[in-house]
């Protein structure tokens, strides 16, 4: 199940629950750090600008953040491009579906680059 939170700066963050058993967390972290280690919110206009995984402890304190490849950033130049490469979200969509039960989504029909600072 997804939860959406409006942030104070006007951006939006979408959260998905993942089972907190040792086996599930070890499988998730293994998939990220062992299998896909090479690959490293929504802006005010509702455009996605980053994709990541955050983990909290039992006290609600954030313990870990992992960012996934961004379809707007060219890996060679490390700069935003005008045309996104949606295949860069394959890992994000796969992990989200496998560990949170959230089905993969098609790319947006009319995508605009996120606002950068």
Residues in the chain: 117
Instruction: Tell me, yes or no, whether 25 lies in a domain.
Output: yes
Predicted local distance difference test score (pLDDT) of residue 23 = 92
pLDDT in tens, 66-112: 888 888 888 788 788 888 999 988 988 898 898 889 898 888 887 77
Instruction: Tell me, yes or no, whether 14 lies in a domain.
Output: yes
CA distance 93 to 106: 10
Instruction: Tell me, yes or no, whether 92 lies in a domain.
Output: yes
Which residues constitute the domain of residue 90?
Answer: 2-100
Name the domain count of the chain.
1
Give the position of tokens 């455009």: 47
Instruction: Tell me, yes or no, whether 105 lies in a domain.
Output: no
CA distance 115 to 117: 7
Instruction: Tell me, yes or no, whether 116 lies in a domain.
Output: no
Instruction: Tell me, yes or no, whether 26 lies in a domain.
Output: yes
CA distance 69 to 63: 20
Instruction: Tell me, yes or no, whether 18 lies in a domain.
Output: yes
Instruction: Tell me, yes or no, whether 38 lies in a domain.
Output: yes
Predicted local distance difference test score (pLDDT) of residue 36 = 67
């Amino acid at each position: 199940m997804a939860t959406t939170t409006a942030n104070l700066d006007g951006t939006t963050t979408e959260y998905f629950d993942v089972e907190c058993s040792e086996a599930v967390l070890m499988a998730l972290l293994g998939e990220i750090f062992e299998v896909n280690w090479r690959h490293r919110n929504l802006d005010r206009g509702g455009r996605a600008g980053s994709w990541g995984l955050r983990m909290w402890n039992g006290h609600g304190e954030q313990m870990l953040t992992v960012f996934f490849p961004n379809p707007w950033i060219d890996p060679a130049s490390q700069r935003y491009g005008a045309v996104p490469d949606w295949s860069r979200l394959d890992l994000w969509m796969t992990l989200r579906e496998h560990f949170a039960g959230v089905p993969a989504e098609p790319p947006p029909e009319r995508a605009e680059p996120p606002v950068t600072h």
